[in-house]
Structure 1
Amino acid sequence: MQTINLKNGDKLAVLGMGTWFMGERPAQRKEEIATLRYAIEQGVNLIDSAEMYGNGRSERLVGEAIAPYARESLYLISKVLPENANLRRMEQSCDASLRALNTDYLDMYLYHWRGATALEETVQGLEALKAKGKIRAWGVSNFDLEDMQELLALPQGKHCQLNQVLFHLGSRGIEYALKPYQDQQHIPTLAYCPLAQAGRLQRNLINHPVLTEVAQEIGCTPYQVLLLFVLAQPNTVAIPKAAQLQHCKDNIACLQLSLSPQQLMRLNRAFPAPTRRQALDIV
């Protein structure tokens, strides 16, 4: 599988698994676990969760799903809420995530979005967790350009490894300023909702004739075209959620597919990159 490099030397697969809203419906738990395990067995080892997702239910689901596998074969990400991203509460939140995931460390811990705590204090807390071995690296989520600039100006801010933001064919605002800046700083983009499951969508995105035509040409679904678009972007990791086994198989199948330059050009014409600065799209 194609990978990208983090500044700390880690290699991330370009396709991972999101888990937002997973673990919240008991009737679906068995299939959700089977889906996660199928992906792991196909080599998709990056799993993204957060303490916010179902108040820990997503993390507990992931913890159960990964139990049969060697911990070192996985790349686990979780996130701390803004109200817990301070020196008084961060370690407690991290410990709760570790218990839910049934692991003694996280590969990556993200600051979910900015809150009232001074950014320098949050960074101090993240560095303390790294020094204790509870996390191997840290990053941020839902940070816009000015947030990233402020972060990287801090003494330890350059230890930030990635920024997780909403990005898909119908929501391309980050391409104007944020992503070019991150690329310049060697900070990958972790794209959540790459299948346009959420956020500000263009009307009739999934039924757009160009999307449908490209899907027919490739022999895939329009949702797979959306994922292929994100996978075609440099320095980017896509983390679609798949709670059903067939959806997971469809996502993984995209690793064997690609958009031609001409197809990518048509998609860019139908859904053009921004020509001016836009507010960061957050869900």
Structure 2
Amino acid sequence: MFDAKVALGTWSWGSGKNGGDQVFGNHLTQKDLQAVVDSAMANGLNLWDTAAAYGQGSSETLLGDCLKPYDRKDYFLSTKFTPMFADSGDDPVRDMLAGSLKRLHTDYIDLYWIHNSDDVEKWTPELIPLVKKGLVKHVGVSNHNLAQVKRANEILNAGGVELAAVQNHYSLLYRQSETTGLLDYCHQNGITFFPYMVLEQGILAGKHDAAHPFEGENDRAQRYNPMLPQLNELLAKMIELAAQHHVAVADIATAWVIQKGTTPIIGVTKQHYIADTKHAISLTLTSAEMKALESLADQANVDTRAVWEQNMNQ
């Protein structure tokens, strides 16, 4: 349903609660990000993923402002309703969507998500009237396990709406969506799977290891630095493959998820990431290389499941 090979993520944009400054230690201005957007659009990368929850709307604001120079038909917007931030009004999903529409300077969203699985029975039906009214073109669910995705699909189908996409954490280091059968279910039912945290917030980008940890006291540094010693062999293999294929180390992790039949969400904060992303799209890893990466990832034995994510095995 979606032609794009990758989506460009903006979780690390903005500031405040759940924003780029607190989570990643970033301090990005619109001037910084305008160059990123312009480069992406010039290179045909026009699928943008954000959420009202990212920096309490500041990510959407930055993205909307950066996309102002472009015709609406020339880019694809993905944003989310987050139940934990719902207001107490009569229609909290519609209310949160209204805020997103305003910040993104648009009158419709191409792909709108239920951001987590707090109450599938309550929230999933609320997507149906948004599609019927033309405010949303396609709908998806994020951070849902297999049983919840199946139930969401049933609810939507009963209302005449298709479940277009699933967005979950999926990477070399975190493969529960694969091992539980969710990824296969999506493939079998024509549902696009959008993995996020493909690079594990940069830990698989080849720039950090036990001797070069993340700096600062942000959430990323506190969470990932203790894992770095266990990743030496995997990172060494990724560096080796990157040299052989003449790509960036991050492209190895991205190519791996693309070859799993997914459309990864790649966080972009710098202009040169656009060229790297294009390389990842065109890169083909051999089956032996894929298996070697998976074996070393298993041997690392790290748990990168985030605090907001449920255990998909339960």
Aligned length in residues:
267
Contact 2:5 2:281 in 1 (8 A): no
With over 3 angstroms needed to count, the CA separation of the structure-2 counterparts of 1:253 and 1:247, relative to structure 1, is same
Superimposed CA distance per residue, residues 224-255 of structure 1 (whole angstroms, 9 cap, x where no aligned partner): 11111111111x11111111112232122222
**1:171 & 1:157 partners in 2: Cα distance?**
34
Aligned to 2:248: 221
Distance 1:184 1:256 in 2: 25
Q: Which runs of structure 2 are paired with 1:96-245 in the superposition (5 Å)?
A: 96-116=99-119, 119-154=120-155, 155-156=158-159, 159-176=162-179, 177-197=181-201, 203-204=230-231, 208-234=235-261, 236-245=262-271
Amino acid in structure 2 at the alignment position of 1:250:
D
- Which of 81, 87, 91 matches 1:88? 91
| Range moving further from structure 2, 71-80 or 262-271 | 262-271
Aligned to 1:253: 279
Contact 1:138 1:161 in 2 (8 A): yes
Conserved 8 A contact 2:173-2:304 = no
How large is the Cα RMSD of the aligned pairs? 2.6
Contact 1:87/1:122 (CA < 8 Å) preserved in 2? Answer: no
Change (3 A) 1:230 1:157: farther
Contact 1:211 1:225 in 2 (8 A): yes
What's the TM-score once normalised by structure 1's chain length? Answer: 0.85
CA offset at residue 256 of structure 1? 2.9
Contact 2:174 2:305 in 1 (8 A): no
Q: Percent same amino acid at aligned positions? A: 25
Q: Point out where structure 1 has 5 or more consecutive residues left out of the alignment.
A: 6-10
The answer for the alignment partner of 1:75 in structure 2 is 76
2:18 matched to which residue of 1? none
Inter-partner Cα distance in structure 2 for 1:87 and 1:107: 24
Could you list the per-position Cα deviations for residues 139-165 of structure 1 after superposition, in whole angstroms to 9, with x for gaps in the alignment?
110001121122223223862111100
Q: 1:87 to 1:192 in 2, by over 3 A?
A: farther
Residue of structure 2 in register with 1:45 after alignment: 46
Unmatched 5+ stretches in structure 2: 16-25, 202-219, 310-314
Letter in 2 for 1:145: L
Bigger helix fraction = 2
Cα distance in 2 between the residues matched to 1:254 and 1:149? 31
Give the SS at the match of 2:29: helix
Of 177-186 and 187-196, deviating more is 177-186
- TM superposition shift of 1:114: 1.8
Residues in 2 aligned to 1:165 and 1:46: alpha-carbon distance in whole angstroms? 17
Report if aligned partners of 2:114, 2:124 keep a CA contact under 8 Å in 1: no
